[in-house]
Structure 1
Amino acid sequence: MAKAKKLLLIDGNSVAFRAFFAMYSQLDRFVTSAGVHTNAVYAFNNMLEVLLKNEQPDAVLVAFDAGSTTFRTKEFSTYKDGRAKTPSELIEQLPYIKQILEARGIKHYELKDYEADDIIGTMSRQAQAAGWESIIVTGDRDLTQLTTPHVTVDVTVKGVNELEVYTPEHVKEKLGITPDQIIDLKGLMGDTSDNYPGVTKVGEKTALKLLNQFGTIDNLYANIDDLKASKMKENLINDKEQALMSRKLATIITDAPITIGLQDVIDQPDDEDRLREIYTELEMKTALAKLGGAAPVVDTKPAKYTVLDDKTILALTKITTPVAFELEMLDDNYHTSDIFAFFIGTEDETFVSTDVTLLTIPEVKTWLEKAPLSVFDSKRNIVAANRLDITLQNIDFDVLLASYLLNPDENSNDLGRVAMDHDYQLQTDEDVYGKGAKRQIPADDVLFAHLAHKAQALIGLRPHLTSDLADQDQSELFTAMEMPLAQVLARMEITGIQLDQTTLKQMGGEFEQSLKILEEKAYAQAGMPFNLNSPKQLGEVLFEKLGLPVVKKTKTGYSTSVDVLEELKSSHDIIQTILDYRTINKIQSTYVTGLLKAVQPDGKIHTRYLQTLTQTGRLSSVDPNMQNIPARDEGKQIRYAFVPSEPDWQIFSSDYSQIELRVLAHISGDPNMQEAFKEDRDIHANTAMKIFNLDSPDQVTPDMRRQAKATNFGIVYGISDFGLARNIGITRSQAKAFIEGYFEQYPLVRQYMDDMVKQAREKGYVETLFHRRRYLPQIHSRNFNLRSFAERTAMNTPIQGSAADIIKVAMIRMNDRLAKEGLKARMLLQVHDELIFEAPTAEIATLEDIVPSVMDSAVDLAIPLKVESHYGKTWFDAK
């Protein structure tokens, strides 16, 4: 049987919108000398190349909206009202996108009074009737209603190149309904992004439940009398016309009066001369390079390299200019990965070798330790070099850190991918070495050529990244915070923290006994033995044998997730037993077994800090995650196993008290919150007094304080009344009153939050006190949930990010202070707002004085920072 032909249908407006915001953080960089923005053109063109390469379609059509007026707006005048206005910087790029499509032999089409969706729907059905397969690419999940066995809808998830593939089976798995029922779902629940109402108080969960029961809206209304009397039934009856109208608005037309057919969209060859003209006008140098018309922003020179030996390497010690340097490893854990090669590059040539012992020749080692180096990932190279007994002291540029600050959304650890983000052509390590279990070192000629190109990239990208950092007012953040922090973190990782394996193994034995006792208890409560670690068997016991109410189902059976078990707590004693079992089992597997596996030959844990992972600037810890070691309940005793590495030493801990709330008080300028901190009042009791209308802190009960604390921190993260109610076990109306009471007490906090959302809408980003940016393209999303998340993020990022920056400054200054004082004390860990040290007992009194002093003065706020310190023979005792 002949292979079916393939039609690629692209939702032009939707994908262009996604392309624009995928590279929104680089909007100011993608501007031609004539002042034309090109970020959307660049991203759209790249996506198009990937799609054409992956799909190999026989025909392609890109559909665009013809305007804001359609048959839908004529039927419902406020249809799509309230959507954010399309940015002018995107509007100016749409004609260029269409010009590129024409030059690439790709048809684009729009139809008066209809939307792009309707064109796509009609063409997909034409293709299906002709025996073709269709692939639809869009950023709008509404188009998933078009899926059939012959029509697939690929929805952009992140940027424009990460796609979620919707087939009828995936729709059913994800939503629990068929593609045909999506319009009924929209009819019942409405759509805030398209601004049509649905039925009052009917959300997605209720709508899905009704459709699972009745199948369609028509059948629901035909059997409306079967529903028991309720407010929902009343709303369904009253809003019937709204539901039917909303379904009609949601329905994509599949027989629109289009004037094109399949033969009109057959893919045609590129007009390279025309493409070259467009790319030249738009100064798209990488695209031009692929046509052979020009070089990319930074020249990719031929792979010129010299292979070093023990005689020729000595000549490098005469180099005084900055050089590119990297120790090459295949695996992520640079504490243990084999170092199989290195390169040292100048502007003219790259020197390479697979013999890393050459770097330990005394003259070379001395030179390398002082040479000004440009690298990719300072910390990785510092730690790896330390394994060769080389101390890199003069790394003065890090491409990874610079790129991360410029766009924290793109946090790849592959130089090739980072280079591509900055319009530089370079193969990725994955391209050269492979991925996963198939990773391997290629032949020397391939390896050395790759290393030479990486060296050229490090040298060539530096001036462009330096300029971009200056343009974004981030030069100081880069040079005074992130670069020195990498040195500090590297030293902490190299030092590691001692693990008392005997103590930990003893704990493991005790946990094992507890698990056996809980297992037997569960068997008795269930009336039969079963595997507590099997969700399937547990589900059968709970919901079939014991007959407990089913809360939620998954595609594989009954859900036995924590939230389900918490909801069933009062139903049967076995539930608490299972929860206790899971808690201890997690401690045993994650912390006892996991930490024992992670301990290295020196008896220490050497975690890795990820400096470029989070969008807020917070550090993360992996291999193992030391920031997740429990701080309370049963798991806290794991901290007994962390001890000083030398006799007569202590573990010393200092942490910021309520740093995020203090940052909020400073940023918002709220006088009531600032006064509370200046007078060293209990901020949670202070808030409780207001929301419970109390006259004195003495009237605040522990439970009131707990609820006020949840409100304080919830507000920081933009929590809703629904979320607060769920978190602290109160009604939604009570939660709403709590939030209103909070804002009455701290009115400038509300003003601050409104201002941050406004700034995000206007600038596309928000900043910390230290000018760390977080870009929020979804602030303009048509999707209510995505837009709401972006708004909450705009509120909390300056707070969370500033707190993270403050502790980074404290770590840098603390490292300097320890050296200046000549102390033996060592900084070991950073765990959120806490710094952990080990020190001789004789130095503890000194640390009690200088650590809080340094941490307190890390930044000048309108209110004081507060630091609490503790120490003891173990980490447990020091907290």
Structure 2
Amino acid sequence: MYNFYEEYWRPFGVLLANMESEGMLVDRSYLADVEKVAIAEQEVAVQRFRCWASKYCPDAKYMNMGSDAQIRQLFFGGTSNRKDVTQVLPNSKTFKVLNSENVIEDGKRIPTKYRNITLHAFGVEMQTEMYTAAGWPSNLKTIKHLFTDEDSIEVEEPSNISLVSSGMPDYGSAYVAFGQGKKGKEACHAIAALCEVCSIDSLISNFILPLQGNDICGKIGRIHCSLNINTETGRLSARRPNLQNQPALEKDRYKIRQAFVAGHGKSLIVADYGQLELRILAHLTNCKSMLGAFKAGGDFHSRTAMNMYAHVREAVEENRVLLEWHAQTGEEKPPAPLLKDAFAAERRKAKMLNFSIAYGKTPLGLSRDWKVSLNEAKETVQLWYKERKEVLKWQEERKRDALTKQHVHTLLGRARRLPLVANASNSQKGHIERAAINTPVQGSAADVAMCAMLEIDKNSQLKELGWRLLLQVHDEVILEGPTESAELAKAIVIQCMSKPFNGTNILKVELAVDAKCAQNWYAAK
């Protein structure tokens, strides 16, 4: 390990310190404007849910939408505790809330700061498989599945309902619970508004407000987070603030990444690997199917979706959608929609399947994620392994390593020590086995990213051009430099990342790199 430290971690530590010093420039005025919009949209969603809920429980129009206890009372009043059936949520309960409407209660002359409201259950049976550690129904995880089985119902326009292949709206269980028809639809859209309130609140509290703090942004408006090599797999972590924790692009309704900008006369280069961990899995397992798919090129998750769903395969075969497209000279857009755009939901499920199975997730866990039967999940897993037997064999070998050697290794030889399996409980054993499968893959991805960053940092041409690394988010790196040399620098960055091991690639698969130049992080994604 000393040789590893001298060759990799020591220069990597110096690089991380330099990146921390550089920091990322933040447009705080943009965030302030976004905050106003977010608060206004959240209030609209709050009123939409309260208006609907008050039809069943009059005092719901005064409820605190941020209170888990009050939300749980409305949906699950009368439900028994999963761990102790003698404990039951009451059908009705009194709560103290802020008297924001200045209601004058009986016996009072003036409105008080707080007032009491009584919330009772909606009176319909709500099924849930999600529970808190204390044994009560888990609000957000459960409620999301009450209004839709997919993320398909648009809250803003109730008429915009995605249709599945059967032609029926993809509503959740609340549609039936509230009597189907008009009432069922109203319930689903109201509950969708509740989820929207929670989503917006998360964006405000976790991203929009923290990034405006005076203690974070220095005099020159840059954020300097702390980058650390302190995870079990060797991946970087960040804190104060955690700039790696950004909302997923499809959930980033306020384009928060747009607040991260380049300085005057400069641009950002954002470069990331395509399906890095799956490529590493293909290399480690020597899986012919995966190696062949990556050699053929294109989107691996889209290929999986095509093999999973008959209607997707039919669309590809009839050329109604394209599995992949490479722009030719003079072409600005593909002749038909790409599969990843036309069947985004199916591709998301395929992506979940690829990573879940690749990391050793059990059929039981997959059945809970997908809300399908255990048998259906088992059949799906078996279909995945049918074409990838080498992966299954490799995973079993890693489990044996955990049992006999108590350690596993990454691509560059870093070891992760594992607890003794013999003394572990069943749940602990499952965790150890998943770690034995996950670490070589995620840890090797961390090795590749580290080597790529070192290649970029030591590239003399990039230094002469004035380009510097600012941040790494797992498989993605961000650089800043003069706009006039952006395209040249981008080509050099791609070269460094595609051949990260001292100018070579030691993997059996090519390392696909996508890079863009822009004035802000969002535009470069």
* Structure-1-length-normalised TM-score: 0.44
Provide the rounded CA distance (Å) in 1 between the counterparts of 2:10 and 2:496.
Answer: 19
Counterparts of residues 183-222 of structure 1 (less than 5 Å): none
1:512 CA drift (Å)? 1.0
Counterpart selection for 1:609 from 214, 227, 233? 227
1:727 CA drift (Å)? 2.3
Provide the rounded CA distance (Å) in 2 between the counterparts of 1:579 and 1:837.
Answer: 36
Could you tell me whether the CA contact under 8 Å between 1:826 and 1:837 is conserved in 2? yes
Q: Is 1:480–2:7 an aligned residue pair? A: yes
Provide the rounded CA distance (Å) in 2 between the counterparts of 1:677 and 1:500.
Answer: 39
1:648 CA drift (Å)? 2.2
Counterpart selection for 2:73 from 540, 543, 548? 540
Counterpart of 2:377 in structure 1 is 735
Counterpart of 1:784 in structure 2 is 426
Counterparts of residues 406-485 of structure 1 (less than 5 Å): 474-485=1-12
1:489 CA drift (Å)? 0.6
Q: SS at 1:609's partner residue?
A: strand
Provide the rounded CA distance (Å) in 1 between the counterparts of 2:122 and 2:16.
Answer: 53
1:729 CA drift (Å)? 3.9
CA distances 1:800-820 after superposition (whole Å, capped 9, x unpaired) = 100011101111111111566
Q: SS at 2:481's partner residue?
A: strand
Counterparts of residues 278-357 of structure 1 (less than 5 Å): none
Q: SS at 1:568's partner residue?
A: helix
Q: Letter of the aligned partner of 1:606 in structure 2?
A: H
> Larger % of helix: which?
1
| CA separation of 1:868 and 1:554: change in aligned 2, threshold 3 A | closer
Unaligned stretches of 5+ residues in structure 2: 55-60, 78-119, 148-171, 175-186, 318-322, 324-338
Could you tell me whether the CA contact under 8 Å between 2:487 and 2:517 is conserved in 1? no
Q: Letter of the aligned partner of 1:583 in structure 2?
A: S
CA distances 1:344-399 after superposition (whole Å, capped 9, x unpaired) = xxxxxxxxxxxxxxxxxxxxxxxxxxxxxxxxxxxxxxxxxxxxxxxxxxxxxxxx
Could you tell me whether the CA contact under 8 Å between 1:768 and 1:802 is conserved in 2? yes
1:732 CA drift (Å)? 2.4
Q: Is 1:822–2:503 an aligned residue pair? A: no
Provide the rounded CA distance (Å) in 2 between the counterparts of 1:555 and 1:749.
Answer: 34
Counterpart of 1:874 in structure 2 is 520
Counterpart of 1:643 in structure 2 is 261
1:692 CA drift (Å)? 5.6
Q: Letter of the aligned partner of 2:281 in structure 1?
A: L
1:631 CA drift (Å)? 3.2
| CA separation of 1:539 and 1:724: change in aligned 2, threshold 3 A | closer
Q: SS at 1:876's partner residue?
A: coil
Counterpart selection for 1:666 from 274, 278, 283? 283
Could you tell me whether the CA contact under 8 Å between 1:686 and 1:697 is conserved in 2? no
CA RMSD of aligned residues (A): 2.3
CA distances 1:240-295 after superposition (whole Å, capped 9, x unpaired) = xxxxxxxxxxxxxxxxxxxxxxxxxxxxxxxxxxxxxxxxxxxxxxxxxxxxxxxx
Q: SS at 2:38's partner residue?
A: helix
Counterpart of 1:725 in structure 2 is 367
User: How many correspondences in the alignment?
Assistant: 404
CA distances 1:284-330 after superposition (whole Å, capped 9, x unpaired) = xxxxxxxxxxxxxxxxxxxxxxxxxxxxxxxxxxxxxxxxxxxxxxx
1:849 CA drift (Å)? 1.0
Q: Letter of the aligned partner of 2:123 in structure 1?
A: G
Provide the rounded CA distance (Å) in 2 between the counterparts of 1:821 and 1:508.
Answer: 38
Q: SS at 1:755's partner residue?
A: helix
Could you tell me whether the CA contact under 8 Å between 2:258 and 2:522 is conserved in 1? yes
1:514 CA drift (Å)? 0.9
Once the two structures are overlaid, the 10-residue window that deviates more, 581-590 or 691-700, is 691-700
Counterpart of 1:747 in structure 2 is 389
Provide the rounded CA distance (Å) in 1 between the counterparts of 2:52 and 2:298.
Answer: 48
Q: Is 1:549–2:125 an aligned residue pair? A: yes
1:494 CA drift (Å)? 0.2
Q: SS at 1:654's partner residue?
A: strand
1:538 CA drift (Å)? 2.3
| CA separation of 1:557 and 1:530: change in aligned 2, threshold 3 A | farther
Counterpart of 1:494 in structure 2 is 21
Provide the rounded CA distance (Å) in 2 between the counterparts of 1:583 and 1:479.
Answer: 45
Counterpart of 2:448 in structure 1 is 806
Counterpart of 2:301 in structure 1 is 684
Could you tell me whether the CA contact under 8 Å between 1:690 and 1:742 is conserved in 2? no
Provide the rounded CA distance (Å) in 1 between the counterparts of 2:313 and 2:32.
Answer: 52
Q: Is 1:582–2:115 an aligned residue pair? A: no
| CA separation of 1:529 and 1:492: change in aligned 2, threshold 3 A | same
| CA separation of 1:812 and 1:476: change in aligned 2, threshold 3 A | same
CA distances 1:666-688 after superposition (whole Å, capped 9, x unpaired) = 01011221111112143224334
Counterpart selection for 2:144 from 566, 571, 574? 566
Q: Percent identity of the aligned residues? A: 29
Q: Letter of the aligned partner of 1:591 in structure 2?
A: F
1:844 CA drift (Å)? 0.8
| CA separation of 1:641 and 1:763: change in aligned 2, threshold 3 A | same
Q: Is 1:711–2:244 an aligned residue pair? A: no
Could you tell me whether the CA contact under 8 Å between 1:825 and 1:839 is conserved in 2? yes
Q: Is 1:654–2:271 an aligned residue pair? A: yes
Counterparts of residues 16-95 of structure 1 (less than 5 Å): none
| CA separation of 1:556 and 1:752: change in aligned 2, threshold 3 A | closer
Counterpart of 1:374 in structure 2 is none
Unaligned stretches of 5+ residues in structure 1: 1-473
CA distances 1:85-115 after superposition (whole Å, capped 9, x unpaired) = xxxxxxxxxxxxxxxxxxxxxxxxxxxxxxx
Could you tell me whether the CA contact under 8 Å between 1:856 and 1:864 is conserved in 2? yes
